[in-house]
Amino acid sequence: MPELYDVAAIGNAIVDVIAPCSEDFLNDEALVKGSMMLIDEDRAQSLYGVMASGLEASGGSAANTVAGVASFGGRSAYIGKVADDQLGQVFTHDINAIGVRFDVPALKGGPATARCLINVTPDGQRTMSTFLGASNKLTAADVDPKIIEAAKIIYLEGYLFDPSDAREAFAKAAGLARASSRLISLTLSDSFVVHRYRDLLLGFIDSEVDILLANEAELCALMQTEDFDAAMRGLRGRVKIAGVTRSEKGSVTLQGDAIDAVPTAPVEKVVDTTGAGDQYAAGFLYGLSQGRSIAHCARLGHLAAGEVIQHYGPRPQVSLQDLAIAAGL
């Protein structure tokens, strides 16, 4: 099988609705700052009704990552489910426009395209409330073997452990990837997801995952420790490679037994941290697909995350390839 893609991702296909909010707003709406909470359509309507005026942008964690890979000049593909409606058209347009292969048929006659209501506090932290809608209807039948078998790296979202049909799609993709000797990468997505599915996630990581992406809180939740260094050491032998983000401190990588901190430069002004982890994953996986050293991969991740947190919207607004060249990466 030829390698047509550097990265192929499976995830929840979501359009983001991004609006600024106060700390009080989070309290009034009983939202846990920094978390992702699943909501139903009624709650989506009522929460949207009290949110501030916003911007809409295509999102979805793994979709943001493959968009980032494409922005670096990588070849990528995406598998996820939108509805046959205006927001589904927006999602499809945007991912195709950035050069990502995406041809899963849109859902007809079911729930609307998924929306993530993102409230951004003045410190740039985002709190997400997701109505899964059509994205929840992704099934194993949507996983095209030709895409999985033709990708150097398969990338899976921890968020997909929520819908049970998607977990089957996950398993199918992992099986196909394994059979074709492709690398399998996973992001833990959210510390609450880790709490909900810790045993399933650990089992999946031990049996299937080569490359793990996470942030500090997610990794500590997975390893059930507050000691970050111990959590990193706990990954030895479980995965071959890991990249774990620590906000302004940069990230810590694991390769085999080697654990190394990679610092990052501060950005001018943090506007909205939505998509920071997704873009770190984009840089990290793109670097791996190009055979770069692990430290180089982490620096590409920092570069991409640094771009996306300086504006509203979860995807890069400039070419990451140009940024990387300008930064000597």
List residues binding its own copies (CB under 8 A): 17, 19-20, 48-49, 51-58, 67, 85-87, 90, 93-95, 97-98, 112, 311-313, 315, 317-318
Smallest separation (angstroms) from its own copies to the CB of 260: 34
Tell me whether residue 98 or residue 173 sits nearer to its own copies (CB atom). 98
Tell me whether residue 257 or residue 268 sits nearer to its own copies (CB atom). 268
Smallest separation (angstroms) from its own copies to the CB of 154: 23
DSSP string, 139-199: -GGG--HHHHHTEEEEEEEGGGGSSHHHHHHHHHHHHHHHHTT-EEEEE---HHHHHHTHH
Does residue 69 sit in helix, strand or coil?
helix
Q: Using alpha carbons, list the distances in angstroms from residue 282 to 9, 71, 185.
A: 11, 9, 12
The distance of Cα 307 from the centroid of its chain, to the nearest Å, equals 16
Helix, strand, coil shares of the chain, percent, nearest 5, are 45, 20, 35
Tell me whether residue 133 or residue 158 sits nearer to its own copies (CB atom). 133
Q: Using alpha carbons, list the distances in angstroms from residue 180 to 7, 153, 176.
A: 14, 11, 6
Tell me whether residue 48 or residue 197 sits nearer to its own copies (CB atom). 48
Tell me whether residue 66 or residue 214 sits nearer to its own copies (CB atom). 66
Smallest separation (angstroms) from its own copies to the CB of 195: 32
d(CA 309, CA 305): 6
d(CA 76, CA 147): 10
Smallest separation (angstroms) from its own copies to the CB of 311: 7
Smallest separation (angstroms) from its own copies to the CB of 67: 7
